[in-house]
Chains A and B, each alone.
Chain A
């Protein structure tokens, strides 16, 4: 079946512009996670959803970052007034229902964001 998909795969934007990154999780997966990954580093947690409810947004760096998942499926991560330091790989992951552990996470291919 289809895995987690993200779009666009690459985004180059000018400083000050807003960007919206999209994640389409695996069908039936309840939980959806957003991460930011710097070159050569492990993913850094940003936020996650169970269904449409945002459960934890403690990793969002500041109020320019927001995320939504209005119908409990596709999610959008929005960065307003982008800055060069926002340049990174943004990864989305989803996991199936698993009350015990949250379940293993299936990662998408990521969106490489470059702010010039």
Chain B
């Protein structure tokens, strides 16, 4: 079983604050790292798919970085808004490219207070 850890489990920030959280995963056989945004009662929504060490991706106020050698990814949210409140899930693929199976972490629950 792949060990995927996300921290913190939850956090509360004020509107306008910038924040970041971490996803740790095994570096062996790494192939890709996915980030998803999930609002309870809705379906997870893809944010980023990252494959290369040093990759940095950005979508609006949200960005992510990837370090495949040490096995971690950071997700950053700049100027948090209440609508950013959600659980952010990371999911590595450590198949070495042999299949597309993802192992999801338990997520970081972000609450942005207006």
Contacts and interface: CB of A to CB of B under 8 A. Distances in A.
Interface of A: 4, 31, 33, 35, 40-45, 48, 50, 55-56, 58-59, 91, 95, 100-110
A45 B103 contact: yes
B32 to A, nearest CB: 4
| SS of B interface (majority) | loop
Contacts of B100: 31, 33, 48, 50, 55-56, 95, 101-103
| SS of A interface (majority) | loop
B74 interface: no
A110 B42 CA distance: 9
Nearest to A110: B43
Interface in B62-114: 87, 89, 91, 93, 99-107
Contacts of A4: 43
Interface of B: 31-32, 34, 38, 40, 43-46, 49, 51, 87, 89, 91, 93, 99-107
A31 B99 CA distance: 11
A42 B34 contact: no
B99 A45 contact: no
B34 A105 contact: yes
Contacts of B107: 41-42
13 contacts: A4-B43, A42-B38, A43-B104, A48-B99, A50-B100, A55-B100, A59-B101, A101-B31, A101-B93, A102-B100, A105-B34, A106-B46, A107-B44
B106 A104 contact: no
A42 B107 CA distance: 6
Contact of A58 (B32, B43, B101, B102): B101
Contacts of A108: 43
A108 B42 CA distance: 9
Nearest to A6: B43
A55 B44 CA distance: 23
B99 A101 contact: no
Contacts of B99: 48, 55-56, 102
Contacts of B104: 35, 42-45
B45 A107 contact: yes
